[in-house]
Amino acid sequence: MNLNILLILPALTALGIMLAPGNKAAKSVALSGAVAQLVAACYLLYAYAGQRSAGVGGQMLFQERHQWFPSLNIQYNIGVDGISIAMIMLTAVVVLAGILVSWSVQKQVKEFFFLIAFLSLGAYGFFISLDLFAMFFFLEIAVIPKFLLIGIWGSGRKEYSAMKLALMLMGGSALVLTGLLALYFYSDTGNGLHTFDLQLIAAMHLPLQVQLYIFPFLFVGFGVFTALFPFHTWAPDGHSSAPTAASMFLAGISMKLGGYGCLRVAAYLMPEAAHHYSWIIITLSTIAILYGAFATLMQTDLKYINAYSSVSHCGFVIFGIGMLTRTAITGAVLQMVSHGLMTALFFAAIGMIYERTHTRQLRELGGLLKVIPVIMTVFVIAGLCSLGLPGLSGFVAEMTVFVGGWQNSDLFYRVTTILACSSIVVTAVYILRAVGAAAMGPVKNEQFLSFRDAMWNERLAAVLLIVGILIIGIAPFLLNDLIAPDTKIIINNLTRAVAGN
């Protein structure tokens, strides 16, 4: 399959939205574009699985390479492995769901859907790039649309949140930029040229001293995107001020860009440094997990609850990567996909509630299960997935991370694993409390009785995400089989590094 389709489709969608004669047409273009993207992503999955089962080897499939700026040896180099396909599927699902729930956007409709299409372009591009320059290009593409989405269509302290998010993410990408340039100049292809090629650099084995310098830049830089403590502060404000679709995209996909980058660029390219800094990564992510969970306890705004819990859940991604065992890294990838779906579902449900009640404060809500049962069921499912109910994806992912963490026999790793495990209890507290306050009890406000339950578009979006959650929850081996060869490659690189020392 030609991977360029994943870039052409969103670009065409964006163009079509711009040229569409009216708001309604723009929406239809956006929706059909998103459906086409999902179809393309599914076909990609099918083609990939077909190739793999036919025994096609090689780390990356469907690879394509063109010279971009030959004098600097910058190439347009794309290809996918199981991990990127999982991410692409996630993106396609979340974008489609996001567009469905935004059907009722009234203000500057064209611009809204244009920016969403643009965002998805950045995400697809990031996940298929094998050249660090292109990867950085797509990483940065996604920053500004978020700023505009939050600033124009957001709520609450939107200007502040938008600015904070844009600046912190830019700060992260500034660190990434420095790290990438350093990698570039320390790479040597043997003919006097430097390279941004991911696979070539991975095969090169940079000297330890160099790795130790570069690793923090890249890991922290990507870490900012995935709300690594103490650089997580953009996430709660950004998520809660953003309009629903943007929140879904931000928490569902954008934070995964960081996790993917930490894994693909930082840990994979600099395995020795990853071992060296492992304890710092684990410490920071354990703090993020616990701090995020306890901070959520204090929140009374539904969006803030999910935003802080995202900090906690994304901590598991970093935690899994930092553990450097195969199971833990598999868990990290599972968690990325699972959290992407779950948080998107959560934000979608919150958005639907907010659209009707015009408040997200827990104390003003109550008894909603009686008036809008479908929406509240979705809300409860998202909550249960978040607290790790078996049968849903959250349980599988977190369990895998914990098992992987425990595989390290070192005392430090085991203690931190226990600490991270304990956050589940806290999660249960805040989720059950939120569900109890919003869904159960007497109907707080008479106006609530006049609410209409979920519309077709909202139901469709919820079904889409719930199906994803259930598939991973019930048949995790499907996703596991998809990513297994690739986690193995990463782990081989990591263990070879240890053996080398």
Partner 1 sequence: MLPELGLTLIIFIVLFLKVTEAVKSPATLLNIIISLLVINCVLPFFGKADAMLFNGMFHTSQALFFEKALLNLGTLIISLFSFEWLKRHAHMPEFFVLMLSTLLGMHFMISSGNFLMFYLGLELSGIPLAAMANYNLHERRSSEAAVKMILSSAFASAMLLFGISMLYGTTGTLDFNELAPLLRSASHLQVLAFLFVFAGFAFKLSAVPFHFWTADVYEGAPVGVTAYLSVISKASVVFIFITILFKLFANFSGLYAHVLTLSILLTIAVGNLFALRQQNMKRFLAFSSIAQMGYILLGISSGTNIGAASAIFFLLVYTFSNLGIFGVVGMVSLRSGKERIDDYKGFYQHNKFASWVLAICLFSLAGIPPTAGFFGKMFLVTAGASKGNFPLITFAALNMVVSLYYYLRVIKAVFIDDNPHPLQHLKSGYPARLALIICMAGVIVTGFVSGLFDHIILLTGK
**By CB under 8 A, is residue 57 in contact with partner 1?**
no
H or E element in which residue 65 lies? strand 61-69
Q: Pick the binder of partner 1 from 27, 146, 158, 303 (CB under 8 A).
A: 158
| Cβ distance to partner 1 smaller for residue 184 or 219 | 184
> Considering the complex, what minimum distance in angstroms separates the CB of residue 143 from partner 1?
7
CA-to-CA distance for 114 and 118, rounded, in angstroms?
6
> Considering the complex, what minimum distance in angstroms separates the CB of residue 6 from partner 1?
16
| Cβ distance to partner 1 smaller for residue 167 or 280 | 167
**By CB under 8 A, is residue 56 in contact with partner 1?**
no
**By CB under 8 A, is residue 148 in contact with partner 1?**
yes
Q: Supply 89's token pair.
A: 């599927």
Q: How are beta strands 61-69 and 74-80 bridged, if at all?
A: antiparallel
| Cβ distance to partner 1 smaller for residue 147 or 402 | 147
The binding track of 199-228 with respect to partner 1, each residue x by CB under 8 A or -, is ------------------x-----------
Nearest to 226 by CA among 173, 184, 180: 173
| Cβ distance to partner 1 smaller for residue 139 or 365 | 139
Question: Dihedral (C-alpha) 437, 438, 444, 449: value to the nearest 10 degrees?
Answer: -160
**By CB under 8 A, is residue 106 in contact with partner 1?**
no
**By CB under 8 A, is residue 105 in contact with partner 1?**
no
> Considering the complex, what minimum distance in angstroms separates the CB of residue 74 from partner 1?
8
Q: Pick the binder of partner 1 from 166, 201, 337, 424 (CB under 8 A).
A: 166
Q: Pick the binder of partner 1 from 167, 280, 467, 498 (CB under 8 A).
A: 167
Q: Pick the binder of partner 1 from 92, 94, 175, 255 (CB under 8 A).
A: 175
Q: Pick the binder of partner 1 from 49, 181, 200, 374 (CB under 8 A).
A: 181
Contacts with partner 1 in 296-315 (CB under 8 A)?
none
Assess contact for 26 and 17: CB atoms under 8 A: yes
**By CB under 8 A, is residue 177 in contact with partner 1?**
yes
> Considering the complex, what minimum distance in angstroms separates the CB of residue 141 from partner 1?
5
**By CB under 8 A, is residue 174 in contact with partner 1?**
yes
Q: Pick the binder of partner 1 from 159, 391, 415, 477 (CB under 8 A).
A: 159
Assess contact for 232 and 153: CB atoms under 8 A: no
Q: Pick the binder of partner 1 from 52, 63, 140, 216 (CB under 8 A).
A: 140
> Considering the complex, what minimum distance in angstroms separates the CB of residue 14 from partner 1?
11
Q: What is the CA radius of gyration of the chain?
A: 22
**By CB under 8 A, is residue 144 in contact with partner 1?**
yes
> Strands, DSSP E only, in 263-421?
none
> Considering the complex, what minimum distance in angstroms separates the CB of residue 494 from partner 1?
26
Burial class from Cβ neighbours inside 10 Å (0-12, 13-18, 19+) for residue 141 reads middle
**By CB under 8 A, is residue 163 in contact with partner 1?**
yes
Instruction: Read off the amino acid at residue 259.
Output: G
Site of tokens 């900090």: 311
3-state secondary structure 231-275: CCCHHHHHHHHCCHHHHHHHHHHHHHHHHHHHHHHHHHHCHHHHH
**By CB under 8 A, is residue 389 in contact with partner 1?**
no
The binding track of 60-89 with respect to partner 1, each residue x by CB under 8 A or -, is -------xxxxxx-----------------
Assess contact for 359 and 310: CB atoms under 8 A: no
Assess contact for 123 and 257: CB atoms under 8 A: yes
Assess contact for 332 and 474: CB atoms under 8 A: no
> Considering the complex, what minimum distance in angstroms separates the CB of residue 150 from partner 1?
9
CA-to-CA distance for 261 and 342, rounded, in angstroms?
21
> Considering the complex, what minimum distance in angstroms separates the CB of residue 177 from partner 1?
5
Question: What are the beta bridge partners of residue 301?
Answer: 361
Q: Could you tell me how many helices (H) and strands (E) the chain has, helices first?
A: 22, 2
Question: What are the beta bridge partners of residue 80?
Answer: 61
- The distance of Cα 1 from the centroid of its chain, to the nearest Å, equals 24
Q: Pick the binder of partner 1 from 62, 124, 127, 184 (CB under 8 A).
A: 184
Tell me which stretch binds partner 1 (CB under 8 A): 141-149, 340-348, 433-441, 460-468. 141-149
Q: Supply 323's token pair.
A: 């553990």
CA-to-CA distance for 482 and 48, rounded, in angstroms?
9
Query: Which residues sit at the interface with partner 1, rule CB under 8 A?
Result: 67-72, 133, 137-138, 140-141, 143-144, 147-148, 151-152, 158-159, 162-163, 166-167, 170-171, 174-175, 177-178, 181-182, 184-185, 217
